Structure 1
Amino acid sequence: MAEVTGDLHHSSLVMVLLLLVFAIIHSGGAALRSRAEVRIGARAWRLIFAALSIPSAVVVIGYFLAHRYDGIRLWNLQGVPGMVPAVWIMTAISFLFLYPATYNLLEIPAVLKPQVRLYATGIIRISRHPQAVGQILWCLSHALWIGSSFMLVTCAGLIGHHLFAVWHGDRRQKARFGDAFETLRSETSVVPFAAVLDGRQQLIWEELFRPAQLGITIAVGVFWWAHRYIPAGGMAFLHSRLGELLN
């Protein structure tokens, strides 16, 4: 029988609203980028964008940690043999897609001038939108582990935003790069490995092993170690002023 915990309707609704705010900031900022960079410069816009998107992401993460088991417990597979390594393997793979080595890390804090580029190598050969793939894998692994209705609502919001970003990203790239993007689109796929399987793309394994991937691997290890502090982090958020306001 399903176990009812917390306030299903309130926490799920709040999470939907938080994800909506994050999506508006993130995708809206991406839509405004071209015009904003002309007016105030690429570095200034990146700093403004980061100042808005990072705090909104932190709030979403904090609220998720505090309420991840809210609602109806639809399943509990945590005692199933092999579930722990399966979840961690899926999560590690999801991070390789979520944070691909195509990123220039120094452009994120605007140390180097942020630029928009067309990438056709590395993980892009597997999927043109690796972040969407990574988010779906992350949601699948964590939904299997947590099994709450709140988790499913969160996953629906995250995946929905990333599917919108697939369409929105292609639209922006088409507007910026024109025929060059159409060529890229014809040679790649959104669905992982689809372009490889139908012969439009060929994997070059050397492109997938870059120094940035080592950083991602280290990050996975750090997150694994930090999971022991999730209950404390969730409680800290619940008792913060923001947590009390949202509750």
Structure 2
Amino acid sequence: MDGTIITLIAANAAFVGTHFIMSHPLRAPMVKMFGDLGFQVVYSVISIATLAWVYFAFKAAPPSDLPGSGQVGWIIATLLTLPAMVLFAGSVMGNPALPTPQAKEQARAAPKGVFTITRHPMMWGFALWALSHIVLFWSLRTTITALAMGILALVGAKLQDRKKKALMGDAWQQWESNTSFWPRVGGFAKAGPLPWTLGLIFFVFFSWLHWPLGGIRAGIWAWF
């Protein structure tokens, strides 16, 4: 196997692994050692460093060493990206998983917006984005990195449920009983105008950004 691919695998494993370790088994000991602010600083430094490693390893790996999935792959990828953007856009509004003083109150409220789809819209947004890149079958570097980010998102969501249940108790249990881990496709009709509007804007903009940043026309721009 190409050495650059091995380095990329190691970089992605470091990024994902340190996230899991620092967020769960080592979180309490690290907070005790560094304090809340110190923990956030250490967490951020390690995350930025490992993400930078992923970036440079990605750039060094071959850009197009797989045959690709053709027009069918591009259509599927485009169709996956739009709901991913809608989920991401709505995930910051009324999300009890985010660190906010209103978390318990939000968890006890009836789910609305993208939370009628899943209680982890941000994580599923990342997972669908990752899947959209995997189905393109364009390069090993893209497939490896997208798979790592998808694992980080979905395994992270499961671990987040466990952590939030311990931290929030009955409030999170009520949130779990009123929501779904797996996306409910019918919920997209009830996501609301703001997530859809922002999601469409994100979809058009980030699809367009593929060309100036990566030299690849993506999304609707692939056909223009």
Does 177-186 or 215-224 show the bigger shift?
Answer: 215-224
Alpha-carbon distance in 2 for matches of 1:129, 1:102: 8
User: Which residue is 1:209 aligned to?
Assistant: 193
Q: Deviations over 1:126-145 (max 9, x none)?
A: 11222342233222221232
User: Which residue is 1:191 aligned to?
Assistant: 182
**How has the CA–CA distance of structure 1 residues 102 and 131 changed in structure 2, closer, same or farther, with 3 Å as cutoff?**
closer
User: Which runs of 5 or more structure 2 residues have no equivalent in the other structure?
Assistant: 94-98, 216-224
User: Which residue is 2:22 aligned to?
Assistant: 29
User: Which residue is 1:15 aligned to?
Assistant: 8
**How has the CA–CA distance of structure 1 residues 49 and 62 changed in structure 2, closer, same or farther, with 3 Å as cutoff?**
same
**How has the CA–CA distance of structure 1 residues 9 and 127 changed in structure 2, closer, same or farther, with 3 Å as cutoff?**
farther
User: Which residue is 1:5 aligned to?
Assistant: none
Contact 2:80 2:128 in 1 (8 A): yes
Alpha-carbon distance in 1 for matches of 2:13, 2:91: 27
Match 2:115 to one of 110, 116, 124: 124
Alpha-carbon distance in 2 for matches of 1:102, 1:134: 9
**1:29 Cα deviation (Å)?**
3.5
**How has the CA–CA distance of structure 1 residues 96 and 17 changed in structure 2, closer, same or farther, with 3 Å as cutoff?**
farther
Match 1:154 to one of 120, 145, 149: 145
Does 138-147 or 114-123 show the bigger shift?
Answer: 114-123
**How has the CA–CA distance of structure 1 residues 62 and 216 changed in structure 2, closer, same or farther, with 3 Å as cutoff?**
farther
Work out whether 1:164 is the aligned partner of 2:155: yes
Q: Secondary structure at the match of 2:92?
A: coil
Q: Secondary structure at the match of 1:145?
A: coil
1:103-118 alignment runs, 5 A limit: 103=92, 114-115=99-100, 117=103
Q: Secondary structure at the match of 1:183?
A: helix
| Aligned residue pair count | 204
Alpha-carbon distance in 1 for matches of 2:182, 2:30: 31
User: Which residue is 1:40 aligned to?
Assistant: 35
Alpha-carbon distance in 1 for matches of 2:56, 2:145: 13
Q: Which amino acid aligns with 1:224?
A: S
Q: How large is the Cα RMSD of the aligned pairs?
A: 3.8
Q: Deviations over 1:14-69 (max 9, x none)?
A: 22221222123323333327972996346x64454334324433442453355363
User: Which residue is 1:176 aligned to?
Assistant: 167
Alpha-carbon distance in 2 for matches of 1:124, 1:177: 18
Q: Deviations over 1:107-146 (max 9, x none)?
A: xxxxxxx537355432222112223422332222212324
Alpha-carbon distance in 2 for matches of 1:182, 1:222: 37
User: Which residue is 2:222 aligned to?
Assistant: none
Q: Which amino acid aligns with 1:56?
A: T
Contact 1:11 1:70 in 2 (8 A): no
Q: Deviations over 1:209-241 (max 9, x none)?
A: 33x765554443332332223347xxxxxxxxx
**1:70 Cα deviation (Å)?**
5.5
Q: Which amino acid aligns with 1:167?
A: K
**How has the CA–CA distance of structure 1 residues 47 and 96 changed in structure 2, closer, same or farther, with 3 Å as cutoff?**
farther
Alpha-carbon distance in 2 for matches of 1:150, 1:10: 12
User: Which runs of 5 or more structure 1 residues have no equivalent in the other structure?
Assistant: 1-7, 105-113, 197-201, 233-247
Q: Which amino acid aligns with 2:69?
A: L
When normalised by structure 1's length, the TM-score is: 0.63
